[in-house]
Structure 1
Amino acid sequence: MIQVDEIDVSYGNIQVLWDLSFEISEEDQVVSIVGPNGAGKSTLLSVMSGLHPFDDGSVTAWGEDVSEMTPSEIVQRGFVHVSEERNLFGDMTVRENLEMGAYTQRSSLEETMQEVFELFPILEERQNQRAASMSGGQQQMLAIGRGLMAKPKILALDEPSEGLAPKITNRVFEKIDEISEEVTVLLIEQHVHKALGLADRAYLLENGEIVTEDTGPALLESDHIKEAYL
């Protein structure tokens, strides 16, 4: 579905990604990219979402070159990015936020919203509540739910556990596991053990380069991962 081939990415004169290549196939349920802060993980998602240009290489989505596509066009192709910042509309209600997520899928809005409510019952309970007044965990569920309203083929989640208490983090990962049964999840996450435990394909990104690739369980057993991250 996605092929990233030898891309270089810079911010001004500072290069942050170097000859980076990876792929997401139809068979993947969860693809995890792990690594330290500053490795370039969030930048990679920004490139794939059309939010940041790349200097060299190529990115294709379902056989199409995305370099000239707008973020909206990339969403319409089926790649939806839920950012670390969540970017909710704080003064709008839960329902209104979900409706905004469905701007490319208006014909199936109510049906998709019911699917989101089944996955996250708290959102149905609080559908008339302002997003800004919700807890951090509820806001994260709303951000994921809004992403699902676009009916993605790939749902990219950037640090979904950021700022959450351990109990809520566990709940969010349970929901991610459930989502992956229907939608391929691209997961960027600091909780290496959880991210690799879910992944059937995983990449370690360090200093702007993919340094190793394997299944999630295999990477969990690697000496490098154990020494550096666990």
Structure 2
Amino acid sequence: MSIHTLHSRYDPPASSEDTPTPGDQASEESTTSGDRPQTVPTGTDPPGTEDNSDTEAGYDLPLDQTFEILKNSRRRETIRYLKANGGETTLSEVAEHIAALENDTTVRAITSAQRKRVYVGLYQCHLPKMDDTDVIEFDQNRGTIELGPNAAQLDPYLEDSERRPWHKLYLSVAVLGGGLFVLGEAGGAQFGLTTSAVLLVLLVSITAAAVWHTFTLRQ
């Protein structure tokens, strides 16, 4: 056996001072990472600086929510009443106003049952739905209502227009049909006023009135 082989077998192990311990590695990594500057991606705000202005100023209402609010006459009338009274009112006042409109009378002449029917409907259904979309701010405990940050988005759909007495329109159509029927039975057949002709005129008139009514409500 050669002297070179003996020396290679009994070479002393490396000194522990030359081998880094796990603690030393962690220390070096933390030091290295601590010296490394942290960058923030372009166009983003640092943590804790989020902008909450959208929450305070409202948000854009989707069309389906807009039409959901406006499809009910009590909701539309509530918004109109708020706009006509400085943007705030009470549940009692708007309930009396709507009850008077629905019953074609004055606020003083409505009955307690008529007022209660509107009051309950507003309190349980319509006002909470409008409050959820920030169209109004409804305080159920105090009974106060104010225009919300999204109310202005409904303005294009709430342009004041002359109120059309639809019940009178349909009554006029019914009277017209009844009059033509009487004339037909009284001998108007010779002028073409047969029962079939009267019925046709009546159906066309009712259909035209219904289409006009539906189109007007969507404006």
User: Common fold, TM-score beyond 0.5?
Assistant: no
Structure with the greater alpha carbon radius of gyration: 2
Q: When the two structures are superposed, what TM-score results if normalisation uses the length of structure 2?
A: 0.21
Q: When the two structures are superposed, what TM-score results if normalisation uses the length of structure 1?
A: 0.21
Higher share in helix: 2
